[in-house]
């Protein structure tokens, strides 16, 4: 598993997925948090180094999609894994309920605008997938509209890939029990009480509908060019390890190379020496 986390957690294209058969409490070959500590640390260091090369090369973009149920750990993953990135060429974008302006446009309008440019890494906290998740679960548009969106999403992602964007999509898979435990922790911890919303509890009642909607997403939109990864996420440290590992492996595959300088270095060096001589009288 340490060798190829991408292969281990990826959902193969067109595969029927049953989330009930994937254990959210899985910790792979680790038995305790301490076992994963060094590997996570190494992956984060590799990510930071490769981000710099991605930025310097200015040829590839990396888009990371994070989806999860409420309290699934999207914010924590951004803090613990993507906190290793330099804000110089990385950003996170949270997708909320569409504003009136967004709602008056095609569902992909607001998404395309915030995709990463060459050299950049973007993290989507929720994404265009909400338009076949919450929208499907609550019938926010008719079925004949949302059912056509899977193909539209695949076509959109294909367009991004053609433009040299690598796409990684993570579903942070927590159990119902773990969600309730996290809600309880939030209630008890004044520092986290702000995170609780009325809708957390009402949405929980739709858990099974959400699982079905996620299974449809995984089956219809996990493609070779933009795969979905289902990450067992009840253990936060395992989730962090798995996501960090997959991002590091992906960046290594992109293998960004520092660009050749656009100027003649010897010429600049000669000028530099000239300036040095005149200013210091050497
Ligand atoms: P946290 O997990 O920390 O609560 P969050 O991502 O849930 O963060 P909120 O502001 O609580 O952030 O919720 C954003 C809400 O917007 C979610 O309930 C989500 O389902 C909803 N949303 C996002 N995109 C769409 C969309 N296209 N249509 C309808 N609702 C959407
Ligand atoms: Mg919320």
Domains of the chain: 5-280 (3.40.50.300)
Instruction: Tokens 């996420």: give the residue.
Output: 233
Indicate if ligand 1 lies below 6 Å from the C-beta of 131.
yes
The whole-chain average pLDDT of the chain stands at 95
Give the pLDDT band of residue 262 (cuts 50, 70, 90). confident
Token output for 258: 């520092």
Query: How large is the average pLDDT for residues 172-179?
Result: 98
Give the pLDDT band of residue 157 (cuts 50, 70, 90). very high
Query: How large is the average pLDDT for residues 45-50?
Result: 98
In this prediction, residue 2 carries a pLDDT of 56
Among 11-15, 121-125, 159-163, 200-204, name the one with the lowest average pLDDT: 200-204
Per the CB < 8 A criterion, the answer to whether 68 and 231 are in contact is no
In this prediction, residue 264 carries a pLDDT of 92
Q: Kindly give the distance from the C-alpha atom of residue 70 to the centroid of ligand 2, in angstroms, as a whole number.
A: 6
Res 3 pLDDT > 60: no
Select from 11, 13, 141, 106 the least CA-distant residue to 67.
11
- The 10s digit of each residue's pLDDT in 195-210 is 898 888 899 999 999 9
Q: At what angle do helices 33-57 and 236-254 cross, to 10 degrees?
A: 30
Res 91 pLDDT > 70: yes
Token output for 178: 């773990």
Res 10 pLDDT > 60: yes
Question: What percent of the chain is predicted at pLDDT more than 90?
Answer: 93
- In whole angstroms, what is the distance from residue 113 CA to residue 129 CA? 16
Which residues, in sequence order, are CB contacts of 131 under 8 Å at separation 6+? Answer: 107, 146, 149
Give the pLDDT band of residue 16 (cuts 50, 70, 90). very high
Which residues, in sequence order, are CB contacts of 109 under 8 Å at separation 6+? Answer: 102
Give the pLDDT band of residue 282 (cuts 50, 70, 90). low
Res 248 pLDDT > 80: yes
Q: Taking ligand 2, which is a single-atom ion, which protein residues have CB atoms under 5 Å away?
A: 70
| Residue among 67, 111, 125, 130 whose CB has most ligand 1 atoms within 8 A, to mutate | 130
User: Can you tell me which atom of ligand 1 is nearest the CA of 138?
Assistant: 29
Indicate if ligand 1 lies below 6 Å from the C-beta of 193.
no
Query: How large is the average pLDDT for residues 117-139?
Result: 98
In this prediction, residue 261 carries a pLDDT of 85
In this prediction, residue 22 carries a pLDDT of 97
Question: What percent of the chain is predicted at pLDDT more than 70?
Answer: 99
Instruction: Tokens 């193969």: give the residue.
Output: 12
């Amino acid at each position: 598993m340490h060798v190829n986390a991408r292969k281990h957690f990826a959902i193969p294209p067109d595969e029927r997925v049953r989330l009930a058969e994937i254990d959210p409490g899985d910790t792979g070959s680790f038995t305790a948090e301490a076992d994963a500590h060094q590997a996570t640390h190494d992956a984060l260091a590799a990510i930071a180094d490769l981000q710099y090369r991605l930025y310097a090369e200015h040829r590839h973009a990396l888009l990371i999609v994070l989806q999860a149920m409420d309290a699934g750990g999207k914010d924590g993953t951004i803090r613990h894994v993507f906190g290793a990135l330099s804000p110089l060429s990385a950003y996170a974008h949270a997708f909320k309920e569409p504003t009136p302006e967004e709602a008056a446009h095609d569902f992909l309008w607001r998404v395309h605008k915030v995709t990463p440019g060459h050299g950049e890494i973007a993290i989507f906290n929720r994404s265009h997938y909400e338009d076949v998740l919450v929208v499907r679960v609550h019938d926010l548009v008719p079925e004949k509209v949302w059912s056509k969106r899977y193909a539209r999403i695949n076509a959109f992602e294909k367009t991004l890939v053609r433009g040299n964007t690598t796409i990684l999509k993570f579903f942070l898979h927590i159990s119902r029990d773990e969600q309730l435990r996290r809600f309880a922790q939030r209630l008890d911890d004044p520092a986290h009480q702000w995170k609780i919303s009325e809708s957390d509890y009402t949405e929980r009642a739709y858990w099974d509908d959400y699982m079905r909607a996620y299974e449809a997403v995984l089956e219809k939109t996990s493609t070779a060019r933009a795969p979905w990864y289902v990450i067992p996420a009840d253990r936060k440290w395992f989730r962090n390890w798995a996501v960090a590992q997959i991002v590091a492996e992906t960046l290594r595959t992109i293998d960004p190379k520092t660009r050749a300088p656009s100027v003649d270095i010897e010429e600049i060096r000669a000028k530099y020496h000239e300036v040095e001589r005149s200013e210091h009288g050497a």
